[in-house]
Amino acid sequence: MDRRSFVSMAVASTVAAATGIGRSEDRNAADSPIKYPEDQKNLKARWEKLDNTIRGWWDGDLHRATEKEIREDPKKTLLFLPFPYIAGGGSESAFPEIYGWDTQFTNLALIDHGRLDIVRWNMLDQLSQIERFGKVLNGNRSFYITRGQPPLLAWSVQNYLRIKKADDELALLAYPLLERAYLHYWNGPLHATPIGLSTCRDSGAKGMPPELASECESGLDYTPIFGGKITECVPIHVNCALVRQAQVLAMLADRFGWKDKVARWQKEASDRANRINQYCWDDAKGTYMEYNYVRKARLPYYSLNTFWPLWAGIASKAQAQRVVDNIGLFDRPFGMTFTDKNYPNPHPQFIALEWAYPEAWPPQQIIVALALQRYGYQKQARDVSRRYIGNVVTTWENTDLLWERYNGVNGGHIVPMERAEPKPLHGFSSASAVVVGRIAFS
């Protein structure tokens, strides 16, 4: 299918659907939180005010990348997309692209706000990337074409079709493209490993060390949890996302009565889930750990990636209980920190760590809360969600902005070390406020 065919088909289906068918400079800061005097008072009402504010941002956060915008792009790096999209940074100029996995969290919030029109545009744009490049790109700039990001688009398709059940056009368009990305990109020669799980690997980014560029594909740029060698690892969250993608492909095949395909994808999902449990579950520790398939060893870094198998529904009840028993490793007064403590930086000569401690990253708060809910831990889901939302709301009230990441230990937002100034963010930060807030007060 060429681009013209894709756009024609997508436009037709869109018409059919529309017609009804605190700065942290010391990463070793002690766990002695700075309490905001009003941080939990009237929190639900204060969150509702933020939620309604975000509801009014969506249309203003739309960007475009059609021929007009490409011609006017001063960087001359913008890649074509047929529909408007929510950029990673919303209306702020710091993050104007549509990102591979950020967008799927944003789609959750859009669904909660009833903006299925934008969700559909986002999905069609990213499906067009698979048609053109074989994958959902890290972002829609030419310097991103060598890598993807965690494969969560199928999750958006599933969430959207749960509401727009009659949208066969979107389902028919999605199936072959999601299948292509699964089989030929994430399980192709660049990403396949001898143990049957997938790794992350950049195919040739310029100006970056290969391991750093590959870490960018994981979305966790940059983190200590892979020991600086992500291409030797099978990231838990990426493989859990692929389990979910196989499950969605089975669901789509069943929708159209393709029984052989249903059985094939159900087996694929089950086999991958079993391999994740075989290689990444550490029964002695009661948690999932990243696995280095070259060294044939689990790595000694605790992270919120342990909740992804619960999000995907592939942990047993006993495993889920063990993970929840260890929630105190990450649970802090102002959010769940990505790692349990500071770990050495495997790339000190290149970059500062970001997905580490004491960061409370917005998308991971969503995953943890949904994972807890899926296994029936409603109280724990509400508790961790309220701590995070209390910080988001208070920081918004104090700064009038949402931020890329928050400080789970001391409160407020985190200023990335590699930047001179903090960067406000809508995107998945808006999404976390909307989605986690609803869980906090459910």
Written as one letter, the residue type at 410 is: N
Per-residue pLDDT of the chain (442 residues; tens, 9 = 90+): 444 455 455 545 544 443 333 333 334 333 444 444 445 779 999 999 999 999 999 999 999 999 999 999 999 999 999 999 999 887 666 788 999 999 999 999 999 999 999 999 999 999 999 999 999 999 999 999 999 999 999 999 999 999 999 999 999 999 999 999 999 999 999 999 999 999 999 999 998 999 999 999 999 999 999 999 999 999 999 999 999 999 999 999 999 999 999 999 999 999 999 999 999 999 999 999 999 999 999 999 999 999 999 999 999 999 999 999 999 999 999 999 999 999 999 999 888 899 999 999 999 999 999 999 999 999 999 999 999 999 999 999 999 999 999 999 999 999 765 544 667 899 999 999 999 999 999 9
Q: CA 178, CA 175: separation in Å to the nearest integer?
A: 5
Check: CB of residue 330 under 8 Å from CB of residue 304.
yes
pTM, 2 dp? 0.93
Q: Could you give the number of structural domains in the chain?
A: 1
Name beta bridge partners: 332. Answer: 335
Q: CA 58, CA 109: separation in Å to the nearest integer?
A: 10
**Rounded to the nearest 5°, which phi and psi values hold at 34?**
-90, 110
Three-state DSSP state, 2? coil
Given the DSSP bridges, would you call strands 359-360 and 406-407 parallel, antiparallel or unpaired? antiparallel
Q: Which pLDDT score is estimated for 20?
A: 37
Burial label for 186, CB within 10 Å (0-12, 13-18, 19+), is buried
Rg of the chain, C-alpha, whole Å:
21
Residue 393: give its domain's CATH number: 1.50.10.10
Structural domain including 312 reads 3-440
Q: Which pLDDT score is estimated for 6?
A: 53
How far apart, in Å, are the Cα atoms of 330 and each of 44, 261, 271? 24, 40, 30
Name beta bridge partners: 281. Answer: 288
Q: CA 226, CA 353: separation in Å to the nearest integer?
A: 12
Q: CA 279, CA 352: separation in Å to the nearest integer?
A: 29
Q: CA 62, CA 84: separation in Å to the nearest integer?
A: 6
Chain-centroid distance of CA 182 in Å reads 17
